[in-house]
Amino acid sequence: MKAEEIIDKYYEGQEELKQLLLMHSRQVADKAMEVLDLHPEIEADRTFVYEAAMLHDIGVLKTDAPGIGCHGEHPYICHGMLGAEMLRAESLPRHARVAERHTGTGLTKATILSQGLPLPADDFSPETIEEQIVCYADKFFSKSHPERVKTVEQVRQMLSRFPDANLERWDKWVELFS
C-alpha cells in the first residue's frame, strides 16, 4: 500500500487536515530527497526514506492541536508514538520507528522522565541513517506555517529553547546533510 493510500484510509472525512498533512509530508520528503541527491555517498534506502517522510506525522490525527485542525484526545507530543502504532498496524515497523523517533532531534529516556512526558520511558533517538535524514528534513517545516522554510540557524534557535535538545546531534546532521 502506498503512503498516500494509508493516509487516505486514516484521514477519511478529514480533508482539510489530510491536505495539511500531505503538504507538510511532501515538503519533508522533498527535503530528504534533496539530502540524498546532494550526498550520493550516503547509503540509504531512497524509496524507504520517501515513504517514511510521507508517513512520519500520520499520528497527528489523534492529537489535540486545534491550531492545525486536530481534535483528538492525546497531547501533540504523542503524535510520533501514535503514528508508530498506526504504522505497526499496517505492518510497517521500519516506518513506525521513523514516526516515533522524529520529535526534536529524538527523545531520550532521560528527557522523557525529567520532563514527565506522557510517553513510554525509553530512548526514541534516530539511529539509522534513514531515521536521521527524515528527522533532519522535518525540522525545516511546520504544519502551523506550511508556507515557511526555516534556515539551519532558525532550526538551531528553535531547538535551543528546549532544555534537553541535542544540539550536537543537530550540528552533526547539518555537517553531514547540508
Which of 45, 78, 32, 35 has its CA nearest to residue 59?
78
Q: Quick one: angle between helices 129-138 and 167-177, nearest 10?
A: 100
List of long-range contacts for 129-132, beta carbons under 8 Å, 24+ apart: 129/42, 129/43, 129/44, 130/44, 130/45, 130/48, 130/49, 130/52, 130/94, 130/98, 131/52, 131/97, 131/98, 131/101, 131/102, 132/173
C-alpha cell at 73: 484526545
Task: Return the percentage of the chain with pLDDT > 70, whole number.
Answer: 98
Give the pLDDT band of residue 98 (cuts 50, 70, 90). Answer: very high
The confidence score (pLDDT) of residue 84 equals 98
pLDDT of 165 > 70? The answer is no
Please compute the mean of the pLDDT values over residues 110-122 and round it to a whole number: 94
pTM: 0.94
pLDDT of 162 > 80? The answer is no
pLDDT of 83 > 80? The answer is yes
The confidence score (pLDDT) of residue 1 equals 65
Q: How far apart are CA 176 and CA 178, in angstroms?
A: 6
The confidence score (pLDDT) of residue 164 equals 66
pLDDT tens figures, 38-70: 999 999 999 999 999 999 999 999 999 999 999
Please compute the mean of the pLDDT values over residues 129-134 and round it to a whole number: 98
The confidence score (pLDDT) of residue 6 equals 96
Instruction: Dump strand ranges (E) for 8-134.
Output: 64-65, 70-71
**What does the mean pLDDT of the chain come to?**
94
**Which DSSP symbol is given to 107?**
B
Q: What are phi and psi of 38, to 5 degrees?
A: -70, -30
pLDDT of 166 > 90? The answer is no
Give the pLDDT band of residue 160 (cuts 50, 70, 90). Answer: confident
Q: Choose the CATH number for 3-177 among 2.30.280, 1.10.287, 1.10.860, 1.10.3210.
A: 1.10.3210
Query: Residue 147 class from Cβ within 10 Å (0-12 exposed, 13-18 middle, 19+ buried)?
Result: exposed
Please compute the mean of the pLDDT values over residues 156-167 and round it to a whole number: 81
